């Protein structure tokens, strides 16, 4: 029939004429008797008895009209024949996804008929189809969930609470309960009363991933609908974290996207319990909060008994100790915690660290108290900023996203994740501070590095606090710099295979440029000092290359000589007579004074040998730069490769600049790893252009 339809279309007849021929061929009412609907590119012609769907000129299906189908299924469901009843319910489950059918079926109170079947029936096969059809009908939002009877709700809950029997019934039952909970608060209260936390946890322990996901969905619906007083029941991590870790996160299969979203929601809602503390500034008139502040001070320093001191002496001592703790306002340290966020949460994390890990806390404070003022790492200021960084990384205070799935496995293995992460990261901060040799002016730079260390480590999805601690400590400051450099190169696409190939092609040209620069520099010449056996630097001499690069001229000069003319240099060595270039401890003048020369002189020494290698001209370069210039230049004259670190650095700079200039027009254009395929040449080159036509 589809083929014949396309044949009709090939004659370019109007669509109405094509439909008429199809209808005549199938003895259907003509198209003028059809009501036309159009959605998603599908033209639908509907009569009282038939439905014809057409898309892109192709007949998709010819079915019963929704009204007639709804009437037939409504009667079939009520049939006394169990086979007819089961077949009708099975078909209902498949066609209920169509909104037009759903409207027709619900207009006949078909959904109430399904509710009645659920309340009365005990047949599992019928029950599966009935619940599936009911869920599909309710998903269209045509009728309210609140009209359901208590008996029906109890029956659905009984399927969830029952021991695993039919997985399909439990899946759709969990789906129905989730929709109930999300639809109204009154239904939430009923479901909360009927379904216990223990049963939901039991469903998380099964091997069926669909059951696990549906149970987690219902759990999250209960969690998000519950008020603050009821929510604690569903965020009791100690009760469910073990099962989530064992049966989902650490299971052999990968975590599916839907389950990852629910884990993210649980993490987000739980961490958001810290938001009130984060949004609350410290109250300077609160005795409890003042006691915590003074507890931090007393835990760090062994102070004299406050009772034996005068008020003035006590205030002076407290101010001094609060300064050592790193508070900017020594006389009133509470002012540092007025800013929100992090507010009181920073005080909580500091106090947790001091009470849970007193040795590490004392070591941090005392170690920095003994440093120079400019190099000490301020504990309080660092703690406040670190708490803020952790709040931002963990997104505390942000409502869960509808599509978010970025959960941290470490969250489910740790009871007080925020506080424990702080305790690890504040010690990391102190370590990074020392690695960077930071001062007070570098505070923001250190915090940026620490943020990057935490973010990169969490992105690797550590499953325990110990694993996080090991990974974040390995990721030291030097590693961060290497990663930044590598990422920058990738971002600039300088590591792409085509770019690397281009670099190799550019190297010979740039190396030749460096060679010419070295020879030009030798032609300008350099002043050297002679070092006698008594190590007295009392004579100067000058050496330069002739303009034709054939001769090396040298001779003694006075100290005030700037750049002597080549004619004034009496001694000379033909380049053709030079046999070798020696550096460092291999030089003859270094061997003569073996053991007497320091490393600095060794690094600047080089010699050239000529004739029978019995004669040599010995140099001590004024600087490392001059050493690199002369050794490279002499290597070029001898036909050797340049090997100094200065040459490698300059080559990299020139390559980078040249590549950037050449790729300037390709900004934001991705470069493929391999070259595109060159098309085959045409079969002939007899191309013709008609010039007789005038251009408009």
**CA proximity to 390, closest of 438, 434, 455:** 455
Residue 101 pLDDT greater than 80, yes or no:
yes
Pairing outcome for strands 526-530 and 539-545:
antiparallel
pLDDT tens for residues 300-339? Answer: 886 544 556 677 787 888 888 888 888 888 778 888 899 9
Please classify residue 365 by burial: count the beta carbons closer than 10 Å to its beta carbon, then call 0-12 exposed, 13-18 middle and 19+ buried: buried
Evaluate whether 184 touches 146 at the Cβ level (below 8 Å): yes
Q: What is the largest CA-CA distance in the chain?
A: 127
Residue 414 pLDDT greater than 90, yes or no:
no
> Number of C-alpha atoms within 13 angstroms, CB side, residue 580?
11
In percent, the amount of the chain with pLDDT more than 90 equals: 33
Instruction: Give CA–CA dist 656/327, Å, rounded.
Output: 46
**CA proximity to 303, closest of 316, 292, 291:** 316
Instruction: Give CA–CA dist 632/644, Å, rounded.
Output: 7
Strand order in the sheet with 605-610: 578-583, 605-610, 615-620
| Residue 337 Cα distances to 271, 331, 348, 442, angstroms | 21, 14, 11, 22
Evaluate whether 71 touches 108 at the Cβ level (below 8 Å): yes
Strand order in the sheet with 551-557: 526-530, 539-545, 551-557, 571-574
| Residue 264 Cα distances to 249, 279, 394, 419, 692, angstroms | 12, 22, 11, 19, 70
pLDDT tens for residues 476-530? Answer: 999 999 888 887 766 666 667 888 888 899 999 999 999 999 999 999 999 998 8
User: What SS3 class is residue 595?
Assistant: coil
Evaluate whether 314 touches 356 at the Cβ level (below 8 Å): no
**CA proximity to 446, closest of 482, 489, 480:** 480
Q: Determine the pLDDT at residue 685.
A: 81
pLDDT tens for residues 650-673? Answer: 999 999 889 888 888 877 777 777
CB atoms within 10 A of CB 391: 22
pLDDT tens for residues 231-257? Answer: 665 555 455 777 787 778 877 677 888
Instruction: Give CA–CA dist 219/227, Å, rounded.
Output: 14
Domains and CATH numbers, the chain: 284-382+411-490 (no CATH), 507-648 (2.30.29.30)
In angstroms, the first-to-last Cα distance of the chain is 49
Between 531 and 457, residue with greater pLDDT: 457
Pairing outcome for strands 50-55 and 58-64:
antiparallel
pLDDT band, residue 440 (cuts 50/70/90):
confident
Evaluate whether 253 touches 298 at the Cβ level (below 8 Å): no
Query: How far, in whole angstroms, is CA 417 from its chain's centroid?
Result: 20
| Residue 19 Cα distances to 1, 22, 48, 570, 643, angstroms | 12, 5, 17, 110, 83
């Amino acid at each position: 029939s589809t083929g014949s339809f396309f044949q009709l279309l090939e004659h370019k007849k109007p669509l109405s004429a094509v439909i008429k021929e199809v209808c005549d061929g199938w003895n259907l009412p003509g198209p003028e008797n059809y009501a036309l609907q159009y959605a998603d590119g599908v033209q639908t012609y509907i009569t009282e008895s038939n439905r014809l769907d057409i898309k892109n000129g192709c007949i998709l299906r010819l079915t019963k009209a929704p009204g007639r189908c709804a009437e037939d299924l409504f009667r079939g469901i009520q049939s006394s024949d169990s086979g007819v009843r089961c077949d009708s319910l099975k078909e209902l489950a498949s066609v209920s996804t169509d909104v037009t059918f759903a409207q027709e079926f619900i207009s006949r109170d078909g959904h109430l008929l399904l509710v009645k079947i659920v309340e009365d029936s005990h047949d599992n096969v019928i029950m599966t189809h009935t619940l599936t059809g009911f869920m599909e009908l309710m998903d269209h939002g045509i009728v309210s969930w609140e009209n359901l009877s208590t008996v029906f709700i109890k029956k659905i809950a009984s399927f969830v609470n029952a021991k695993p029997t039919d997985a399909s019934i439990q899946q759709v039952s969990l789906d129905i309960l989730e929709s109930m909970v999300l639809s109204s608060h009154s239904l939430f209260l009923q479901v909360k009363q009927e379904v216990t936390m223990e049963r939901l946890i039991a469903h998380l322990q099964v091997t069926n991933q669909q059951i696990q996901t549906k149970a987690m969905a219902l759990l999250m619906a209960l969690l998000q609908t519950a008020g603050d007083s009821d929510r604690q029941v569903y965020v009791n991590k100690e009760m469910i974290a073990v099962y989530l870790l064992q049966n989902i996160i650490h299971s052999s299969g990968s975590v599916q996207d839907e389950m990852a979203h629910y884990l993210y929601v649980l993490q987000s809602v739980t961490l958001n319990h810290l938001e009130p503390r984060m949004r609350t500034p410290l109250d300077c008139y609160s005795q409890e909060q003042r006691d915590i502040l003074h507890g931090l001070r007393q835990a760090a320093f062994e102070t004299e008994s406050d009772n034996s001191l005068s008020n003035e002496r006590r205030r002076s001592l407290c101010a001094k100790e609060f300064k050592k703790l790193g508070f900017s306002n020594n006389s009133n340290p509470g002012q540092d915690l007025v800013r929100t966020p992090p507010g009181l949460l920073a005080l909580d994390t500091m106090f947790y660290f001091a009470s849970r890990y007193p040795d590490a806390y004392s070591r941090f404070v005392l170690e920095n108290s003994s440093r120079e003022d400019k190099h000490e790492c301020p504990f309080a200021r660092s703690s406040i900023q670190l708490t803020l960084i952790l709040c931002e990384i963990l997104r505390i205070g942000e409502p869960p996203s509808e599509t978010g799935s970025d959960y941290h496995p470490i969250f489910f293995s740790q009871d007080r994740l925020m506080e424990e992460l702080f305790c690890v990261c504040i010690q990391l901060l102190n370590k990074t501070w020392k690695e960077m040799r930071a001062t007070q002016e570098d505070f923001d730079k250190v915090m940026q590095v620490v943020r990057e260390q935490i973010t990169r480590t969490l992105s690797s999805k550590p499953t325990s606090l110990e694993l996080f601690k090991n990974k974040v400590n390995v990721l030291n400051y030097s590693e961060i710099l290497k990663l930044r450099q590598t990422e920058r190169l990738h971002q600039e696409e300088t590591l792409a295979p085509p770019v690397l190939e281009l670099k190799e092609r550019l190297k010979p040209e740039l190396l030749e440029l460096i060679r010419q620069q070295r020879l030009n520099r030798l032609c300008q010449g350099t002043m050297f000092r002679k070092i006698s056996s008594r190590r007295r630097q009392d004579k100067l001499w000058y050496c330069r290359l002739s303009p034709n690069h054939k001769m090396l001229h040298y001779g003694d000069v006075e100290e005030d000589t700037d750049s002597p003319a080549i004619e004034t240099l009496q001694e000379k060595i033909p380049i053709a007579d030079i046999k070798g270039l020696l550096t460092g401890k291999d030089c003859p003048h270094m061997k003569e004074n073996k053991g007497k020369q320091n490393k600095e002189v060794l690094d600047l020494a080089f010699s050239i040998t000529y004739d029978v290698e019995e004669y040599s001209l010995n140099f001590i370069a004024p600087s490392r730069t001059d050493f690199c210039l002369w050794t490279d230049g002499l290597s070029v004259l001898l036909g050797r490769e340049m090997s100094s670190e200065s040459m490698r650095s300059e080559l990299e700079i020139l390559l980078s600049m040249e590549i950037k200039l050449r790729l300037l027009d390709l900004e934001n254009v991705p470069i493929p790893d391999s070259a595109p395929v060159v098309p085959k040449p045409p079969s002939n080159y007899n191309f013709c252009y008609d010039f007789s036509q005038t251009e408009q």
